[in-house]
Each structure stands twice: as C-alpha cells, then as structure tokens.
C-alpha cells in the first residue's frame, strides 16, 4: 500500500450507511501529531473521561513506549468520517480504535496499514473475530473485544408457562415455547426490526442460522428466516412494535416483565442487573440446533497510514500494550466485551460464570463484512432491512421482499 492514502468516494458513502450498535455524544476534534514524542489516539468512547481506566491505560501504554499520548474520543459515526477527512489531509492519528465493520471500508480507501506492515501480532485472536478486519487477503488491526447477540429470558414467565429454557435448542422448540407462553397470557419475544443497521444486525443471527449468505439474500434459507419472524408476528408471538423498535426500545419492552424472551446484546448486562425479575441468557439457536452465528460488534485497534513510516514501530508498541492479555481482560470487562482470545475468555468466565453463554455466542459469531464483502456490505444491509420491513408490515411476502432486495443489490 502506498503511504499516501487513496480515498475512495464509495468509502464515504459506506461509512455513512453503517451505524454502530450503540452511540454516544460527539467530542471535540483534534488532528494527528508530527511531534515525535507525542502520539495521537482516536477512539469511540466519549463516555469515558480522562479519569477512566481506559484513558489511564492509554497513558500507561504511551509511557511504556516512551512517548506521551494525545487522546481524542468521538461518537462512532463522527469518528469514521473525521478519520477519512484527516487521512485525506495527511493528518491521520497514529492509532485508531474503530467499529469493526468500518475497518474494511477504511482499508479499501487506503487509510489503514496492514498488520504485516506494522508488525502487530494477531496469532492469538479467534479467526472468526479477526475476519471482520480483513480485506483482500490482508489484516488491518486487531480486535480489542467483541459483543454480540443472545436471548435474554424471564424465568418467571417461562416457569408460569411450563417452559424450561434448557429445552430451547432450535427454531421449532423456540416457537413451541412462544406458543405456550402466549397461551398462558404472557408475551412471547421482542426484538429490533427497525429499518436501519440495527434491524439488519438483529436479523442476521436468524439469517445466518438458517444457512443463508449475504452474497445471495434471496436464497430459500433467507426466505425461511424472514418467514420465521413474519409468522411470529402473525401468531402474536412477537409484537408489531418490533418494526419500529431499536435495540433500546426492545430492551425497554422486555424490562416491563411481560415478555418471555428478548434478543439483545452484551451491552445490556449492566441494565440486566437492574431488572426487577430473575432472568437468564441462552444463545440464539440455529434452525436445526447449535448456536447461530450472530454478528460481532466491538472495535479494532488499527494503525492509520503515515507519511513518516518510522512512527509505526512505536504505534505497534502502543497497540501491543493495549491488547496484551492483562490489559485486554481489564478493558473488555469494563466495556462489557468478550475478549478476542481464548486465554482471556477463559479468565473472564472463571471470574464470572454468567459470561459463558456470551463466550459461546462470540465464538460462533461472524463479522458483517466477512466473506470479503468490504464496502459492499452497507448496500446489502440496507436492502436486507428494507426487505424485513416490507415483509413484517405485510407490504410483500418474505420471498417477494428478498427477491426485490437481491435485485436492488445487483
């Protein structure tokens, strides 16, 4: 890759189309540094101030590398766009922590160095998590942690309906459980099917769990996944509100205590502790059993391209420090992430056995831009959520909606 970034117009559009699973308020702007003793780091954690453990870790890693750190946090979407602009101006940060589906887009725009260039060791990272940062046979960065989706359940609602959560192993047993719950006068399952990236994000476990692929979104397997959701609404197992639900409003529905299940993510773990009822968590099942691949959320630590390539050696030291075993364990626990390496995952479950189901889900997870989709993913995702909306609203059958979506992608 050339040291001068070759920014593609498509990259800008792609970044605007993909949103994160969670957002925060934007912070002030601050460009890269030409000072050999100061290294700039941009991250998507504006909620973490200068006194946070994360900010403290950044400074510690800078000190170990023999430099000072200038950190600027941004809202996720703002961070991506600011990075493209900074790279265009030759003013990119030395280290960039960025949402994983954005990595391949920035890489294809020429903004990021490869791990072969910057000498970052990714050998301990689970291959399915690393894939989210790969494009064209190259790896661009290392995941700092991952979150994904699973099914939260209300123990009392299931108990009243005579349902044992341990028996929910596939789509048939889950649907049967929903039928028993609604027959007992309670509500079945809530999720987010909104016409945004959140809707696609929540649909993907069922889509992939049916054996469908994003390279052909109108396959019979894809139709079966969308038909499952459509049938749940038709039978009253899921509320019509899912069409407009974000992941936050879906969680709020579950928090009322009336629902048996809610599809949501690791980022709700803190809120789950505040629920006024006993709950549990199970992995999202595939159509015929096993754990369905759910999409990975979370960030990659990357090294943007620099005119002065001599800076990469120190950037490598900083990244290696941030993602070391001890630091990864502390950081991922604080951010409610599952670590990207088996060693740290085992530490997390030893400290908190309740995380075992999340480790199971993360190990089966899949990057949204995997399969070398790169900048193609946002267009595919948009057509996917459009099809979901059309089918659930009754505007089209699942088959017709997905056929139209595939034609639009082509």
pLDDT in tens, 53-108: 999 999 999 999 999 999 999 988 789 889 999 999 999 999 999 999 999 989 99
The residue among 372, 302, 318 whose CA lies nearest residue 39 is 318
Residue 18 CB-density burial (10 A; 0-12 exposed, 13-18 middle, 19+ buried): buried
Give residue 335's pLDDT. Answer: 83
Handedness of CA 208, 212, 214, 217 (dihedral sign): negative
User: CA 155 to CA 277: how far, in whole Å?
Assistant: 8
Quickly count: other Cβ atoms within 10 Å of residue 380's Cβ. Answer: 20
Give residue 77's pLDDT. Answer: 77
Name the 3-class secondary structure at 311: helix
- Asked if the domains at 9-146+298-364 and 149-294+373-409 fall in one CATH topology, the answer is yes
Handedness of CA 48, 108, 146, 229 (dihedral sign): positive
Q: Where are the domains of the chain?
A: 9-146+298-364, 149-294+373-409
Give residue 334's pLDDT. Answer: 80
Average pLDDT of each block of 10 consecutive residues along the chain (410 residues)?
Answer: 37 48 38 74 93 94 97 89 92 95 91 94 95 92 96 98 97 98 98 96 98 97 98 98 96 98 94 95 97 95 95 96 92 88 95 94 94 88 97 98 95
Give residue 78's pLDDT. Answer: 87
User: CA 226 to CA 212: how far, in whole Å?
Assistant: 11
Give residue 258's pLDDT. Answer: 97
Q: What is the DSSP letter of 72?
A: E
Where are any strands of DSSP class E within 2-93? 38-43, 68-73
Give residue 18's pLDDT. Answer: 53
Where are any strands of DSSP class E within 54-182? 68-73, 95-99, 134-135, 138-139, 142-143, 149-154
The residue among 253, 244, 262 whose CA lies nearest residue 195 is 244
Structure token pair of residue 163: 């349902």
User: 9-146+298-364: what fold?
Assistant: D-Maltodextrin-Binding Protein; domain 2 (3.40.190)
Give residue 246's pLDDT. Answer: 96
Give residue 22's pLDDT. Answer: 40
User: CA 340 to CA 59: how far, in whole Å?
Assistant: 22
Handedness of CA 282, 295, 338, 99 (dihedral sign): negative
Architecture of domain 149-294+373-409: 3-Layer(aba) Sandwich (3.40)
The residue among 206, 200, 204 whose CA lies nearest residue 170 is 206
List phi, psi (to 5°) of 357.
Answer: -65, -30
List phi, psi (to 5°) of 264.
Answer: -160, -175
> In this structure, are strands 138-139 and 149-154 parallel, antiparallel, or unpaired?
unpaired
Q: What percent of the chain lies above the pLDDT cut of 70?
A: 91
Give residue 248's pLDDT. Answer: 95
pTM equals 0.88
Residue 84 near residue 106 (C-beta atoms within 8 A): yes
Residue that is written with structure tokens 């920014």 in the block: 7
């Amino acid at each position: 890759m050339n040291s001068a970034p070759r920014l593609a117009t498509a990259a800008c559009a792609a970044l605007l189309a993909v949103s994160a699973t969670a957002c925060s308020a934007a912070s002030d702007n601050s460009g890269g540094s030409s000072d050999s003793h100061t290294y700039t780091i941009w991250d998507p954690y504006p909620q973490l101030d200068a006194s946070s453990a994360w900010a403290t870790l950044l400074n510690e890693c800078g000190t170990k590398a023999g430099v000072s750190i200038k950190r600027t946090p941004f809202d996720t979407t703002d961070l991506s766009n600011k990075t493209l602009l900074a790279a265009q101006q030759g003013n990119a940060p030395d280290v960039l922590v960025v949402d994983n589906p954005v990595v391949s887009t920035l890489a294809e725009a020429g903004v990021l160095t490869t791990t072969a260039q910057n000498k970052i060791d990714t050998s301990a990272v689970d291959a399915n998590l690393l894939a989210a940062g790969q494009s064209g046979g190259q790896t661009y960065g290392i995941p700092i942690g991952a979150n994904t989706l699973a099914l939260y359940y209300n123990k009392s609602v299931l108990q009243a309906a005579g349902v044992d959560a341990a028996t929910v192993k596939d789509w048939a047993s889950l649907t049967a459980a929903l039928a028993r719950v609604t027959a007992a006068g309670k509500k079945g399952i809530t999720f987010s099917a909104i016409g945004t990236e959140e809707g696609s994000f929540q649909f993907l476990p069922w889509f992939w769990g049916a054996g469908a692929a994003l390279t052909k979104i109108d396959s019979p397997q894809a139709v079966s996944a969308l038909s499952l959701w459509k049938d749940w609404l038709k039978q009253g197992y899921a509320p019509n509100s899912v069409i407009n639900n974000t992941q936050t409003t879906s969680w709020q529905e579950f928090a009322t205590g009336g629902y048996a299940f809610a599809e949501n993510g690791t980022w709700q773990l803190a809120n789950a502790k505040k629920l006024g009822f006993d709950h549990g968590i199970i992995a999202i099942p595939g159509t015929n059993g096993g754990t369905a691949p759910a999409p990975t959320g979370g960030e990659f630590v990357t090294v943007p391209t620099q005119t002065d390539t001599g800076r990469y050696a120190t950037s490598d030291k900083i990244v290696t420090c941030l993602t070391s075993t001890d630091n990864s364990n502390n950081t991922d626990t604080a951010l409610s992430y599952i670590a990207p390496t088996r060693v740290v995952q085992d530490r997390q479950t030893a400290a908190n056995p309740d995380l075992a189901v999340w480790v199971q889900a993360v190990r089966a997870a899949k990057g949204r831009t995997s399969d070398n989709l790169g900048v193609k993913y946002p267009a595919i995702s948009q057509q996917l959520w459009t099809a979901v909306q059309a089918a659930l609203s009754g505007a089209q059958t699942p088959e017709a909606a997905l056929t139209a979506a595939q034609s639009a992608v082509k």
